[in-house]
Amino acid sequence: MARLPSLFVSHGAPTFALAPGRAGQALAQLGQQLVGVKAIVVVSAHWQSQQLTINANPQPVTVHDFGGFPQPLYELEYPVQGHPQLAHAVSEYLQVQGYQPRLDSQRGLDHGVWVPLLHLRPQADWPVVQLSLPYHASPQWLFDLGQALNTFAEQGVLIIGSGSLTHNLQDVVFNAQQPVAYAERFQQWITERLQQHDRAAVIRALNDAPDAARAHPTTEHFLPLLFALGAAAPDYHLQTIKGGIEHRALAMDGFCFNQ
């Protein structure tokens, strides 16, 4: 079986579910191109925990973990199956790699998972296993976790990190037309380093990239990129999932790390 790519997706605001824009259209096109996907393993910015946890729920519900948005958003469902067998296999494999994960058979899927998947795979026929984002996780830790799991990409598992290429809610203005310059600069800097296969620079980006502190006042929306990058093939071919910048400050580009 051919190795699947790994993906980083920018999921933006929850309204991304209702207004796909450029990023949603690009995800839909990518979803039609992907073949051989048996399941998804995903890390989202919206499930943080003390200990690395793996969702083993066979029927994860759609969690509307946000407030103050239009009612149609709360009526959306993403009726995907979980994959307990895969969740246990991932847990056992990570234990051999020196991790200490726990299993959770009750949790649903947060909007960092189901919103982009609405566009990537509207059929909801790829079972999903979500891993939590531990509070203690550093960029290097997430990169190493992705690297530890990259063998699953050879078994029909699509590995996804879901966050946002920039995420400063203080600068968000819904439906604003003119993006802030720092979001463009940060998005371009990351893209260039990924094109150069400069993994070390991306791991250090929160310290070294221009405007990093403003682009990411907190780290949880950046870290999933390191998970996807770690899971990528060493000689990956980068495909940018073009999304532009929405709501003034949310950079929506994502990346597909092809074999």
Digit-coded pLDDT (tens) for 79-99: 999 999 999 999 999 999 999
Count other C-beta atoms under 10 Å from residue 73's C-beta.
17
- pLDDT tens-digit readout, 192-204: 999 999 999 999 9
Return d(Cα 179, Cα 157) in angstroms, integer.
35
Residue 172 has pLDDT above 80, yes or no: yes
Label residue 1 by pLDDT band (50, 70, 90): low
At the second CATH level, the architecture of 6-63+79-258 is: 3-Layer(aba) Sandwich (3.40)
Spans of all domains in the chain: 6-63+79-258
Judged by DSSP in three states, 235 sits in coil
Count other C-beta atoms under 10 Å from residue 147's C-beta.
18
* Mean pLDDT, rounded, for 140-160: 97
* Mean pLDDT, rounded, for 120-139: 98
- pLDDT tens-digit readout, 54-81: 999 999 999 999 999 999 999 999 999 9
- Write 176-179 long-range contacts (CB < 8 A, 24+): 176/247, 176/248, 178/248, 179/244, 179/245, 179/248, 179/249
CA dihedral sign, ordered 81, 84, 85, 90: positive
Answer yes or no: pTM beyond 0.85: yes
- pLDDT tens-digit readout, 16-65: 999 999 999 999 999 999 999 999 999 999 999 999 999 999 999 999 99
Average pLDDT, rounded, for the chain: 96
Question: Looking at residue 176, what is its pLDDT?
Answer: 84
Label residue 177 by pLDDT band (50, 70, 90): confident
DSSP string over 24-55: HHHHHHHHHH--S--EEEEEEEEEEESS-EEE
Question: Looking at residue 2, what is its pLDDT?
Answer: 81
Residue 212 has pLDDT above 70, yes or no: yes
Residue 102 has pLDDT above 80, yes or no: yes
